[in-house]
Amino acid sequence: MKPHLPFIVLLLAGCSVGPDYQRPSMAMPVHYKEARGWQPATPRDAQSKGEWWSVYHDATLSGLLSQVSVSNQNVATYSAQYRQAQALAAESRAALFPSLGYDGSVTRSGSQITTSSSHQAALSASWELDLWGKLRRTLEEDRASASASAAELANITLSAQSELAQDYFQLRIMDQKIARYQQSVDAYQRYLNVIGRQYQAGTASRATLAQAQLQLESARASAQDEQWQRAQMEHAIALLVGKAPADFSLAAAPLTATLPAIPAALPGELLQRRPDIAYAERNMAAANAAVGVAVAGYYPDLTLSASAGVSSSVLHSLFSLPSRVWSLGPELSGTLFDAGATSAKVAQARAGWEASVATYRQTVLTAMQEVEDKLVELNTLQGEIAAQQRATDAAQTSARVTRLQYDAGMINYLDVATTENSSLSAQQSLLTLQSTQWVSSVALIAALGGSWQAP
C-alpha cells in the first residue's frame, strides 16, 4: 500500500517554528530641519554609489582612494570575514540535503591459536528531516549574518575612504599654512636684517631688534609645528592605502580640488545607502531567526539513515551475494528533561532580538543626527568663512598701510609687528575654517552613505 502523498509532502516540507521576520517600524521625520525638501526612505545600501569622490575633481585624491578597497588591511580583514560568513551559510544550506558517505576497511587479528581476517566496504546515507524548520531557521540566520557581514565590509570601506579624503584635504590645507608661514618668515627675516643694520648704526633700539627677532622665531616655530603635524597626516594616509610610512610620500602641492555645493533640494533616499543601518537591520533578521532555532529545541529530531555494503573474512568472496549487508531505519531523538535549559535558550534569543531592535533604531537616529549636524555646520561655515575672508582682507590692508607708515618713519616697529601678527593670524584662521569645510563636506557625503547624488 502506497503512503498517502500529501502526508509525505507535509512531512518533508515541515514547518518553521519561531516568528517570521518583519522589520520593526521606525518613526521618521517628514523633513530634515537643516535641509528642506529631504524625505527619508528605506535603506537600500546595495545600490551602486560609484566613485563618490569624483565630485571633488582631484586626480591625486582619486588615485589614493582607489587603493583603499585593494590595499587597506582593515578592509581586507572584513572582506575575508564576509567570505567566511558566505561559506557558513553555504554549509547551513547543505544540511538541508541528504549526505552520502563511504567506508572501507581491512582488519587482521589473531591469538596464539588462530588468526582471522575481516574485509568490509559500505556506502551510507543519512538525512535529517527538517520537520520544525530548525535547519531552515539556521540557514536564514546564517544568510542574514552574511548579508550583515557584507554591509559591515561596505561600512568599513566607506569609513576608510572618508577618513583618507578628510586627511588628504587637511594635509593640503597644511601645505598652504606652511607656505604662508614661510612667506612670513622670509618677510620677517628681511625686516630683521634691516633693523639689525639700523641697530648697528644706532638708529634702532635694542627693544626694536628684540621685537623683530621674536616675530621671526615665533613664525618659524609655528611653521615647524605644522610640519610635524603634516608628517603624521601623511603617515595616516600611508596606512589607509596599505603602505608603510617609509614607503609613501605626498609632495607639497596646492589644493586644486573643487568643493561641491550642497544641492538646495536633495533626493529622498537619505538612508538608502547607509551600510551601518543595513548592518543593524540584517543583524535583526539574524537575531529573529535565532529565536526560531532556539524554539526548535523543544521538538524532536528525525533522521533517516541507510547503509549497504559487503563484509567477508575472505577477500575473493567479498562481493558475493552472501557477503552483502544492509540497514535502513529512522531515528527519533529529543529531550525529555533539561531543567529549563531550552527555555533559557529561547529567552536568551528573544532578548537578543530585542537588543538588536534597539540597536537598529539607535543607528537610524544617530544617522539622522549626523546628517543634521553636518548640514548645519556646512551652512554656518559658508557665512563664517565669508566673514573671516573680509577680516583677513582688512588685516592685510592694515599690515600693508602700517609697513608704509613705518618705512616713512611715522610709527615704530612695534605697530608693524602687531599688525603683521594680526594679518598672519587672520590668514591662518581662514585656512583652518576652510579645512573644516572640506572635512565636513566629506563627512556629510559619508553620512549619506557615500553620495548625495540622486540614483
Q: What is the CATH number of the domain that holds 91?
A: 1.20.1600.10
Q: What is the mean pLDDT of the chain?
A: 84
Confidence of residue 4 (pLDDT cuts 50, 70, 90): very low
> Given a cut of 70, is residue 354 above it in pLDDT?
yes
Residue 41 counted as domain residue: yes
> Given a cut of 80, is residue 453 above it in pLDDT?
no
d(CA 405, CA 117): 117
Q: Tell me the torsion sign for CA atoms 83, 86, 88, 91.
A: negative
Residue 167 counted as domain residue: yes
Residue 125 counted as domain residue: no
> Given a cut of 60, is residue 7 above it in pLDDT?
no
Confidence of residue 47 (pLDDT cuts 50, 70, 90): low
Q: What is the 3-state secondary structure (H, E, C) of the chain?
A: CCCCHHHHHHHHHCCCCCCCCCCCCCCCCCCECCECCCCCCCCCCCCCCCCHHHHHCCHHHHHHHCCHHHHCHHHHHHHHHHHHHHHHHHHHHHCCCCEEEEEEEEEEEECCCCEEEEEEEEEEEEEEECCCCHHHHHHHHHHHHHHHHHHHHHHHHHHHHHHHHHHHHHHHHHHHHHHHHHHHHHHHHHHHHHHHHHHHHCCCCHHHHHHHHHHHHHHHHHHHHHHHHHHHHHHHHHHHCCCCHHHCCCCCCCCCCCCCCCCCCCCCCCCCCCHHHHHHHHHHHHHHHHHHHHHHHHCCEEEEEEEEEEEECCHHHCCCHHHEEEEEEEEEECCCCCCCHHHHHHHHHHHHHHHHHHHHHHHHHHHHHHHHHHHHHHHHHHHHHHHHHHHHHHHHHHHHHHHHHHHCCCCCHHHHHHHHHHHHHHHHHHHHHHHHHHHHHHHHHHHCCCCCCCC
Nine cell digits for residue 296: 526548535
Please list, in sequence order, all residues whose beta carbon lies within 8 angstroms of the beta carbon of residue 103, skipping any fewer than 6 positions away: 120, 121, 122, 124, 309
d(CA 285, CA 404): 73
**Tens-digit pLDDT profile for residues 308-328:** 776 665 555 555 555 567 778
Among 42-56, 159-173, 386-400, 409-423, where is mean pLDDT lowest? 42-56
Question: In this structure, what are the phi and psi dihedrals at residue 363, rounded to the nearest 5 degrees?
Answer: -65, -40
Higher pLDDT: 378 or 118? It is 378
Domain limits at 376?
Answer: 16-101+133-300+340-447
Residue 326 counted as domain residue: no
Among 115-119, 333-337, 394-398, where is mean pLDDT lowest? 115-119
Residue 436: per-residue pLDDT: 97
Cα 449 → chain centroid: 10
Number of domains in the chain: 1
Residue 392 counted as domain residue: yes
The amino acid occupying position 375 is: L
Residue 116 counted as domain residue: no
Mean per-residue pLDDT for 239-245? 95
Residue 248 counted as domain residue: yes
d(CA 241, CA 248): 9
**Surface-to-core class of residue 440, CB atoms within 10 Å of its CB (0-12 exposed, 13-18 middle, 19+ buried):** buried
pTM of the model: 0.83
**Residue reference for cell 569624483:** 54
Nine cell digits for residue 439: 572635512
Nine cell digits for residue 147: 548579508
Residue 73 counted as domain residue: yes
From first CA to last CA, the distance across the chain in angstroms is 62
d(CA 53, CA 64): 11
Among 68-77, 150-159, 268-277, where is mean pLDDT lowest? 268-277
